[in-house]
Amino acid sequence: MEKRVVVVTGASGGIGRATALAFGARGDTVALLARGDTGLAAAAQEVRDAGGTALVVPLDVADPDAVAAAVEHIETELGPIDVWVNVAFTSVFSPFEKITPQEYKRVTEVSYLGYVYATMAVLPRMKARDRGTIVQVGSALAYRGIPLQTAYCGAKHAIQGFHEALRCELLHDKSNVHVTMVQMPAVNTPQFSWVLSRLPHQAQPVPPIYQPEFAARGVLWAADHPKRREYWVGGSTAATLAANAIAPGLLDRYLGRVGFANQQTEQKVSPDAPENLWNAADGADGRDFGARGIFDRQAVRGKGQLWASHHHGSLLAAGAATLTAAAVLLGRKR
C-alpha cells in the first residue's frame, strides 16, 4: 500500500498508541498528538523502530486553536494529511451524583468536542483536495449506556450522532472524503489506571477484554475501507448492540443489577493513583504507561469476529447462496 500521512490523537497510550504503531509498521508517516511528553516520546520511538516516520505534536484536543495550529504544522512538515484518527478521551468512573459540573464539562470537551474540533480543522483541507479519511474511534457505549460512566457514554453517544450527520452531508456533496466509525469493546488500556475514579475498588473493563493491538487492527481496516459507516470490533460489541436493539429495557435492568460490581475488581483504589482529567497522567513522575493496561491475564483474542466484521458482504453473499441452494434442493425433493 502507498505510504500515507496519518494523524492519531491520544497517541501516548492505549488504542491510540497501538494504532500509531500499527500505521508505523506499514511504513506510514505518523503524527502523534497527546498531552503527555513521556508517552509521546516513547510512542514516537516505537513508530520509528517499526519502520515508520514519527512527528510528535503535544497538545490538548479540547483546545480548538491548538488543534487548528497542529493541522497547519503537520501539513507544513509532512505534507497533506491522508488519514486522521480521533481516539483521545478522558472520563470519570463515578456515580452521576458524585461528578461535579466542571468534571462533566471537561470530559465532554475532551472526549466529544475534541473529535469535533479535530474534524473541523482537517476536513476543509481534505475537501479542498477531494480526498482523505477520518476515523472516529467509538465504543459499544455509543449505543448502550452503562452505570458509573455517564460522562463517557454521553460523549460517545454524541460522537455517534455527529458522525452520522456529517457522513450524510459528505454523501450529499458526493465528496471523496470519507468518515467512518469503529465501535470498540472493552480493551486492556491504561485508562483504568489513570482515569479519575470515585469507586471504592479498582475500575476494570467489563469482560471479555481485548488487547489494544486487536482494536488497532480494526482501526487500520476502517482507514483502508472507509466507505462503510461503521465497524464493530469484538464479539461482545456485536452482541451488545444486537441485544440493545432488541431489548434495551431488559438491559437497563440487568446492568442496574450487575453493572456496578462488574466494573470493579476486589482491589482497593490506591490513594496515589494518577489521574489524567486535568493533566497528563505521565506528567508527574515521567512514567510511560504504554499501550496495554493491567489486565493482560484476562485479555482474549477475537480474530474470527474481526474477520467477519471486515468481510460482512462476503458472508451475506455466502449465506444467500446457501439459502438459495437449499431452496433449490428442497424444491427438487418435493
CATH code for the domain of 292 = 3.40.50.720
The verdict on residue 334 lying in a domain is no
Stronger pLDDT, 331 or 23, i.e. the higher one: 23
Q: How high is the pLDDT of residue 283? A: 72
The verdict on residue 233 lying in a domain is yes
Q: How high is the pLDDT of residue 318? A: 42
Lowest average pLDDT, out of 78-92, 122-136, 155-169, 267-281, goes to 267-281
Q: Determine the average pLDDT of the residues in 61-76.
A: 98
Which long-range CB contacts under 8 A does 75-79 form with residues at least 24 apart?
75/125, 78/5, 78/29, 78/31, 78/53, 79/5
Dist. CA 13–CA 172, nearest whole Å: 36
Task: Say which residues have a Cβ less than 8 Å from residue 71's Cβ, sequence separation at least 6.
Answer: 81, 121, 122, 125
Q: How high is the pLDDT of residue 273? A: 85
The verdict on residue 55 lying in a domain is yes
Confidence label for 313 from pLDDT (cuts 50, 70 and 90): low
Count of domains forming the chain: 1
Q: How high is the pLDDT of residue 312? A: 54
Lowest average pLDDT, out of 43-52, 95-104, 302-311, 315-324, goes to 315-324
The verdict on residue 306 lying in a domain is no
The verdict on residue 35 lying in a domain is yes
Question: Are β-strands 264-268 and 201-203 bridged in parallel, bridged antiparallel, or unpaired?
Answer: antiparallel
Helix (H, G, I), strand (E, B) or coil at 204: coil
Q: How high is the pLDDT of residue 285? A: 72
pLDDT over threshold 90, residue 103: yes
Q: How high is the pLDDT of residue 98? A: 98
**Distance of alpha carbon 160 from its chain centroid, rounded?**
12
Q: How high is the pLDDT of residue 304? A: 64
Q: Determine the average pLDDT of the residues in 73-94.
A: 98
Dist. CA 154–CA 143, nearest whole Å: 10
pLDDT over threshold 70, residue 78: yes
Confidence label for 269 from pLDDT (cuts 50, 70 and 90): confident
The reply to whether 152 belongs to the active site is: yes
CB-facing half-sphere around the CA of 124: CA atoms within 13 A: 6
pLDDT over threshold 90, residue 195: yes
Confidence label for 315 from pLDDT (cuts 50, 70 and 90): very low
**What is the domain range of residue 225?**
5-301
Residue burial 121-144, b: 16+ Cβ < 10 Å; e: rest: bbbebbeeeeebbbbbbbbbbbbb
DSSP 133-153: EEEEE--GGGTS--TT-HHHH
pLDDT over threshold 60, residue 305: no
pLDDT tens figures, 221-237: 999 999 999 999 999 99
Mean pLDDT score of the chain: 92
pTM of the model: 0.91
Burial class (CB in 10 A: 0-12, 13-18, 19+), 273: middle
AA letter at 237: T
Q: What is the maximal distance between C-alpha atoms in the chain?
A: 76
Contact 290, 11 (CB under 8 A): no
Which of 112, 115, 143, 152 is labelled catalytic?
152
Q: Determine the average pLDDT of the residues in 251-272.
A: 94
pLDDT tens figures, 139-150: 999 999 999 999
The verdict on residue 323 lying in a domain is no
Stronger pLDDT, 128 or 324, i.e. the higher one: 128
Helix or strand (DSSP H, E) at 279: none
Reading the block at residue 113, the C-alpha cell is 468536542
The verdict on residue 190 lying in a domain is yes
pLDDT over threshold 70, residue 333: no
Computed over its alpha carbons, how large is the radius of gyration of the chain?
A: 20
- Range list of β-strands (E), the chain: 5-9, 29-34, 53-58, 83-86, 92-93, 132-137, 177-183, 186-187, 196-197, 201-203, 209-210, 230-232, 264-268, 299-300
Peptide bond into 208 cis (omega under 30): yes
The verdict on residue 331 lying in a domain is no
Phi-psi region of 14 (alpha: psi -120 to 50; beta: other; left: phi over 0): left
